[in-house]
Amino acid sequence: ALRTANFGSDPARRLAELREAVPRGPLCNMEFWVGWFDAWGAIAGKSYRAPEDVAQTLRETLSAGASVNFFVFHGGTSFGFCGPGANLSATGQYEPQVTSYDYGGLLDEAGEVTDKYRRCREVLAEFLGRPELLERQFPKAPRLPASPPLDLEASLSLDAALPTLVASVPAVTSSLPLPAEQLGCGYGYVLYRAAVPMCTNLPLRLGQEAVRDFASVMANGQVLGTVYRNETNPGAREFQLPEEPVGGRDSTKDVRKDCNVEILVELMGRVNFGPGMLGERKGLVGPSSVQLGSAFTGPPRAVQGWSCQPLPMAAEELARLPWGIGQGPEARRGRWRRGPRFFLFALYVSRPADGFLVLEGFRKGFACVNGFNLGRYWEVGPQLSLYVPGPLLRRGRNEVLVFDIDSPGGAVPAPRVVPEAVWASGALPRGAREAA
C-alpha cells in the first residue's frame, strides 16, 4: 500500500515529512483541503479560504512533484438525517455540522463553478501545457426565481400526528430512559414520557451531559424550555413543573393526579472520526439523566417509569399525516401553543429548477419537498437555507413539509424560495429557551 498525506497548506514541510516515511516512490496529498467544515452556531459564520491561497498551495505541491486529490472537489448536501457528521473539538466540545457540505469546494453546493475552480484550472493548465483548457466556458444553470412567502395549507401538532407516526414503531417501556440505540433508532427523534406526582413541588432536573443532542422539555402539554448539548453554561437544567392540572385548580374537567412529562430529543449528527466515536450515544443517556430535586432539596432522585418512543420520521410515515385535523381559521392564523409542530406549505413552480428554501420564522427542525427530506435547519446559522434540487420539483403545486421542534406559535412562519444559498454570520446557540 502507498502511504499518502492529508494537508491543506505548507506543502514543503508536509511533503518532506511524507518523504521521511516514504523514502522511495511517488508523493501524494490524498486530501488536499481546499476549505473546511461548517458547524451550527459557528461564531465566525461560514468557513472561508481564499481562492488564490488554494491555487498557490496547489502550485507548490505540483512543483514538488507530488500528486493531489482535491477534498472536496464537490461536496454537495447531506440530505435527510444520515448526515452530516460531527466532530469533537480539541476541548471535547461537540461540533455538529450543517446540512450543506459545500465545504468551500471547487464546485459549490449546487454544482456551479467557483472562482476557486478557475484559479486551480489555471495552475493545472500551466503544468499540463494545455492552455486550451482555459477556453471552456460554464454557463450558469437555470434557477428558481425568488418567491413570495409560501402559502400555509395546514398545520398539525406533534400530539395529533403521533398515532400515525408510531403506528409501525412500538414504544419501549423502561424504568429509566434508554438511549436511542437500545430502541433500534439510529436517526430522527425519540419521545420520552413519564408521569410525575402532581403534588410534588420539586423541580425537574435534566443533566445537560445526558442530552444527545437537543431536547424540548414539556409538562402537561406546556413547553418548559429546551436543552442543547453544547450550551455555553454547562451543568444540569432545572424546570419548575406546573402547580396544578390542566384546566385549572378548580376545574372538574381533565383533572389529573399526575404531571405528564414529555422530553422530545433530536438526534443530531454523529461523531464521525476519532476516539469520540466509541462513546457516542443518542437520546437521553446515563442512569441519572432525568431527576426530581435540586441541591437545595436534598439529593435528587431519578424519575422512573418511562415510555421511550422512537420517531424516525420516515417518508412513508410523514406521507400519511392526518392534515385534516384541526385546520380551522385559528390554526391558519398561527394561533397554536408553543411546541413541536408540522406545517404543510404549497410551492407553485412553472418550470422546475434548482433553488434554496429559506425557513424564516422557524427555529429548529427539518424540511421535505414532495416527500424528500432536504435535511436539518436551525435558526442559529450560519446556514440559513436548504438546497432544493430541481429534479425533486414538478410543474404546478409542490408540497413543502416542515417540522419544528420548538415552534413559537403566535404567527405564521414565512418560508420562501430564493435562487442562491443564504448564509449569515454565525452566533453561539442561545441558552435554553424559557417558556414563553
Domain-by-domain residue ranges, the chain? Answer: 5-134, 151-157+315-418, 169-243+255-311
pLDDT of residue 332: 58
Measured CA to CA, the distance from residue 141 to residue 182 in angstroms comes to: 46
Of the options 3.20.20.140, 1.10.240.10, 3.40.50.150, 2.60.120.260, the CATH number for the domain spanning 169-243+255-311: 2.60.120.260
Nearest alpha-carbon partner for 410 in 336, 360, 328: 336
For 108, half-sphere exposure in the C-beta direction (CA atoms, 13 angstrom radius) is: 15
The yes-or-no verdict on residue 233 having pLDDT over 90 is no
SS3 172: strand
The yes-or-no verdict on residue 427 having pLDDT over 60 is no
Percent of the residues in the chain that have a pLDDT greater than 90, as a whole number: 72
The owner of cell 429509566 is 176
pLDDT, one tens digit per residue, over 401-422 is 999 999 987 788 999 999 999 9
Measured CA to CA, the distance from residue 55 to residue 123 in angstroms comes to: 7
Pairing of strands 28-33, 67-71: parallel
Q: What is the DSSP string of 382-398?
A: SB-EEEE-GGG--SEEE
pLDDT of residue 255: 47
Is residue 316 within 8 Å of 164, Cβ to Cβ? no
The yes-or-no verdict on residue 195 having pLDDT over 60 is yes
The yes-or-no verdict on residue 248 having pLDDT over 50 is no
The pTM of the full predicted model, rounded to 2 decimals, is: 0.92
The yes-or-no verdict on residue 252 having pLDDT over 50 is no
Tell me the CATH number for domain 151-157+315-418: 2.60.120.260
Angstrom distances, CA of residue 7 to CA of 30, 50, 193, 308: 8, 16, 47, 44
Angstrom distances, CA of residue 166 to CA of 171, 191, 195, 212: 8, 11, 20, 21
Pairing of strands 151-157, 339-349: antiparallel
Measured CA to CA, the distance from residue 432 to residue 228 in angstroms comes to: 7
- Reported as type and span, the H/E element at residue 238 is strand 237-239
Residue type, 2: L
The answer to whether the 151-157+315-418 and 169-243+255-311 domains have the same CATH topology is yes
> Out of 5-14, 307-316, 324-333, 384-393, which region has the weakest mean confidence (pLDDT)?
324-333
Nearest alpha-carbon partner for 380 in 414, 425, 416: 425
